[in-house]
């Protein structure tokens, strides 16, 4: 089908649900995150049509809307099979691209991937998305003995092998990155740092909360004003502004705490896509404490659904305590916050209500972080008065919470620290030279 010139930045949304009323709010936000302008939508409540997803008549409506708006892309808030995508393409005007929800998410991830790790994870997800489609084409060509059907044949079989080989190489490189990052986490712990991870759905306000908790960032600071600020620490009202991870030192007196902002969850992600970003989620799984951030201004049913999904993701591999943080209390009345606390008590016992933007409740959150992290051990070291001892005392000051130092004929240091720091201080003390008589 031919038609007027298409605008590649204009999109039409299409969605089908088996029952109930289709909700296009999230897919519109995803389209916006990918820099599309949404010109209209077509929705339908019915069982899936195996050939077109939508029914024949609704596809006619979709074609008419595309022609009317000049849209260059149709975005389905459904998972499309390879033949559904092909069939829809034959019905739409020439030049109109068909993308499903997961293709759109991968495109957004590709736009936001800045680090080698993020780029590898995006490529891995894209290959896992493509592989079953190539396998289906190869299987059909072999079954029907039509190597030329839809451009299939030896090319697709070779492509299948290339994809599998590339997936294997990416996994090996990501495994090495994971080992390096785990080594870095352990070094941080040995230096006395507790590791806290922010988790939750996109747009819950994790990046804004990180800025509020951090000792070296201002909440209203724009990208580029801080020399160490990465793009992943931006605070914007859009999905997927955080694809990688950003770590900042928290503004706490008693403890040395590093807080990491991680990739946001999103609903209805398939297992293969979550697995592709396992390396990023390791920052959550291997933390000492997880702050599960939710947007308290959202409808209660939506919050409950997101909490259930988040718990399924986190409790599968995470052993650290999880504290639910009800963010954006500046957007709702206090009475509504209390009602939602009560309604969510089974899923989120003893949550902390905060406003990352305005700072409300952040002091209570810092106290809760202190309470939930592994307890410090108290130690008292009696050391000889030597130059090497002064170096050790300085190291203890840097890595522990020092209560008192008494300088006399001997040096007595009273301090509290993570068990690994206490153990390391004892080892360093045992290596100190004994002064000559």
Instruction: Please work out, in degrees rounded to the nearest 5, the angle formed at the alpha carbon of residue 211 by the alpha carbons of 363 and 123.
Output: 135
Measured from the Cβ of residue 396, the count of other Cβ atoms closer than 10 Å reads: 25
Do 299 and 58 contact (CB within 8 A), yes or no? no
Q: Could you tell me the CATH superfamily of domain 192-372?
A: P-loop containing nucleotide triphosphate hydrolases (3.40.50.300)
Residues 213-241 as b/e (b if ≥16 CB within 10 A, e otherwise) read: bbeebebeeeeeeeeebbebbbbeeebbb
Domain definitions of the chain by residue range: 7-109, 113-177, 192-372, 377-430
Q: Beta partners for 384?
A: 410
Question: Identical fold at 192-372 and 377-430?
Answer: no
Q: How confident is the model at residue 271 (pLDDT cuts 50, 70, 90)?
A: low
Asked if pLDDT for residue 99 goes beyond 50, the answer is yes
Asked if pLDDT for residue 221 goes beyond 70, the answer is no
Asked if pLDDT for residue 239 goes beyond 80, the answer is no
Closest by CA position to 106, among listed 283, 300, 279, 276: 276
**What are the C-alpha distances in Å from 121 to residues 109, 125, 197, 309?**
9, 6, 20, 22
Q: Which residues are annotated as a binding site for Mg(2+)?
A: 207, 242
Q: Which residues are annotated as a binding site?
A: 200-207, 242, 261-264, 327-330, 355-357
For residue 4, give the 3-state DSSP assignment. coil
Q: How confident is the model at residue 362 (pLDDT cuts 50, 70, 90)?
A: very high
Q: Which residues are annotated as a binding site for GTP?
A: 200-207, 261-264, 327-330, 355-357
CATH architecture of residue range(s) 377-430: 2-Layer Sandwich (3.30)
More confident residue, 137 or 31: 31
CA distance 392 to 357: 41
pLDDT more than 70, % of the chain: 83
3-state DSSP of 318-368: CCCCEEEEEECHHHCCHHHHHHHHHHCCCCCCCCEECCCCCCCCHHHHHHH
Q: How confident is the model at residue 274 (pLDDT cuts 50, 70, 90)?
A: low
Asked if pLDDT for residue 337 goes beyond 80, the answer is yes
User: What's the confidence (pLDDT) of residue 339?
Assistant: 95
Measured from the Cβ of residue 367, the count of other Cβ atoms closer than 10 Å reads: 12
Domain 7-109 part of CATH 2.60.40.10: no
Beta carbons within 8 Å of 277's beta carbon, 6+ residues apart: 121, 125, 263
């Amino acid at each position: 089908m031919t038609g007027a010139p298409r605008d590649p930045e204009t999109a039409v949304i299409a969605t089908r649900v088996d029952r109930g009323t289709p909700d296009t709010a999230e897919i519109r936000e995803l389209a916006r995150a990918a820099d599309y302008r949404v010109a209209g939508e077509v929705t339908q409540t019915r069982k899936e049509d195996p050939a077109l997803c939508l029914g024949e008549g609704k596809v006619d409506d979709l074609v008419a809307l595309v022609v009317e708006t000049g849209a260059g892309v149709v975005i389905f808030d459904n998972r499309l099979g390879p033949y559904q995508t092909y069939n829809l393409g034959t019905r739409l005007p020439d030049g109109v691209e068909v993308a499903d929800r997961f293709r759109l998410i991968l495109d957004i991830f590709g736009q936001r991937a800045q680090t080698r790790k993020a780029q590898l994870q995006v490529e891995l997800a894209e290959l896992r998305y493509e592989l079953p489609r190539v396998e289906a084409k190869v299987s059909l060509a072999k079954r029907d003995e039509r190597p030329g059907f839809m451009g299939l044949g030896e090319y697709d079989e070779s492509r299948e092998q290339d994809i599998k080989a590339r997936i294997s190489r990416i996994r090996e490189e990501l495994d090495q990155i994971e080992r390096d990052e785990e080594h870095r986490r352990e070094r941080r712990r040995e230096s006395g740092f507790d590791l806290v991870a922010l988790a939750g759905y996109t747009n819950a306000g994790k990046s804004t909360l990180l800025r509020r908790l951090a000792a070296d960032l201002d909440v209203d600071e724009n990208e580029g004003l801080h020399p160490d600020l990465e793009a992943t620490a931006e605070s914007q009202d859009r999905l997927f502004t955080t694809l990688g991870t950003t770590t900042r030192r928290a503004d706490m007196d008693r403890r040395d705490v590093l807080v990491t902002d991680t990739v946001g969850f999103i609903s209805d992600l398939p297992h293969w896509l979550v697995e592709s970003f396992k390396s990023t989620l390791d920052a959550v799984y291997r933390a000492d404490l997880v702050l599960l951030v939710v947007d308290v201004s959202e409808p209660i049913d939506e919050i409950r659904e997101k909490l259930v999904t988040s718990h399924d993701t986190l409790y599968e591999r995470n052993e650290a305590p999880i504290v639910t943080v009800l963010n954006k209390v500046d957007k709702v009345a206090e009475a509504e916050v209390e009602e939602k606390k009560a309604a969510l008590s089974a899923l989120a016992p003893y949550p902390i209500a905060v406003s990352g933007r305005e700072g409300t409740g952040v002091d209570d959150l810092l106290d809760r972080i202190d309470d939930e992290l592994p307890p410090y051990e108290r130690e008292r070291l009696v050391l000889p008065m030597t130059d090497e001892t002064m170096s050790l005392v300085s190291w203890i000051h840097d890595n522990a919470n020092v209560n008192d130092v008494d300088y006399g004929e001997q040096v007595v240091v009273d301090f509290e620290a993570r068990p690994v720091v206490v153990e390391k201080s004892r080892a360093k003390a045992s290596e100190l030279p004994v002064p000559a008589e």
